[in-house]
Structure 1
Amino acid sequence: MKIKFKRKRLVANLIISIIWITFGTYNIVDEDHLRWTDYGYLILGVLYFGQYLHDLTYQYLTIQDGIIKKNGLYGYWKKINMNDITWIKKFAGDYTLKTEQKEIKINTDLIDKKALAELDKILGALNLPSEKTPFTNPNPVQS
């Protein structure tokens, strides 16, 4: 299962890449004498386009086979086994998943609303003590 980025982030990266590529191409084609910065604009645009393609393909998080993987560009992928999570901390809307050795921070501002609801459901289903997770009901209904 993939936890998707907000569409706004993807579109922003695409627009920024198009602007930089256009600006770099214009400077290279139009200038009589080229400067290194003219190529820099083009390279910056290609890097932003690469970020867009990466985010579109892999999205923000992947949850598969009991492992949560935070997909990062250029090999900065972090993963954590869901069975090893000992604490889920929520601060300013972001989640921090902790194990004995690792920690992953999840920025919820980057996540699509429907995907965030799915993530909350998955994290809420983990068997953690109520003081170590924000997903428990502090006032359970008793019958």
Structure 2
Amino acid sequence: MTIRYSKKAFRRDLILGSVFLIFGIFFIAEEPDNVIRYGFLVVSLLHLISGLYQLKMPYLKLENGKITKGGLISKSIPLSEVVRIRKFAGDYTLYTSDKKLKINSELVNKTELNRLDELMRSIDVPLDETPPKDYKHS
């Protein structure tokens, strides 16, 4: 089972990459001798690469009893070692005896958010849900 990145995160990285690229080209054209101006191009490339990665690769992958969170440095946790799951503000944190894996729900594709909720509830460990705070308006 795979859970994809949200389109919002993908678009954000592509827009930021494009904006930094435009600024980088403008500043390099104005002052080509200033090395610091090339930082815009580096940041632009990082955002564009991140956006393309999010387009091609899944955010979460569940296979062989192991959940893997994608990214520059991927993290894996065997589901059999999960001792506790905490849900706070829509994000899930899976705990083992020595590791933790945080799943950011804003990076999950909205159409697959229900599948993520079902997956977390299917794991046979306690699920700590922090209830929304009740504000009293006067």
TM-score class, shorter: 0.7 to 0.9
Q: Considering only CA atoms, is the larger Rg found in Structure 1 or Structure 2?
A: 1
Distance 1:126 1:39 in 2: 48
Aligned equivalent of 1:123, options 120, 123, 134: 120
Distance 2:105 2:62 in 1: 15
AA aligned to 2:75 is K
CA RMSD between the two structures: 1.8
Sequence identity (%): 33
Distance 1:110 1:123 in 2: 16
TM-score, scaled relative to structure 1: 0.80
Are 2:93 and 1:96 equivalent residues in the alignment?
A: yes
Distance 2:110 2:41 in 1: 34
Distance 1:34 1:99 in 2: 52
Q: CA deviation at 1:38?
A: 2.0
Mapping for residues 107-122 of structure 1, pairs under 5 Å: 107-122=104-119
Mapping for residues 1-143 of structure 1, pairs under 5 Å: 1-28=1-28, 30-31=29-30, 33-73=32-72, 76-128=73-125, 132-134=126-128
How many residues are aligned here?
A: 129
Which ranges of 4 or more aligned residues in structure 1 deviate by more than 6 Å?
A: none
Distance 2:7 2:31 in 1: 40
Segments of 5+ residues of structure 2 without an aligned counterpart are 130-138
AA aligned to 2:98 is Q
Q: CA deviation at 1:40?
A: 1.0
TM-score, scaled relative to structure 2: 0.83
Distance 1:42 1:109 in 2: 27
AA aligned to 1:46 is L
Segments of 5+ residues of structure 1 without an aligned counterpart are 136-143
In 2 relative to 1, CA 102–8 (structure 1 residues): closer, same or farther, beyond 3 Å? Answer: same
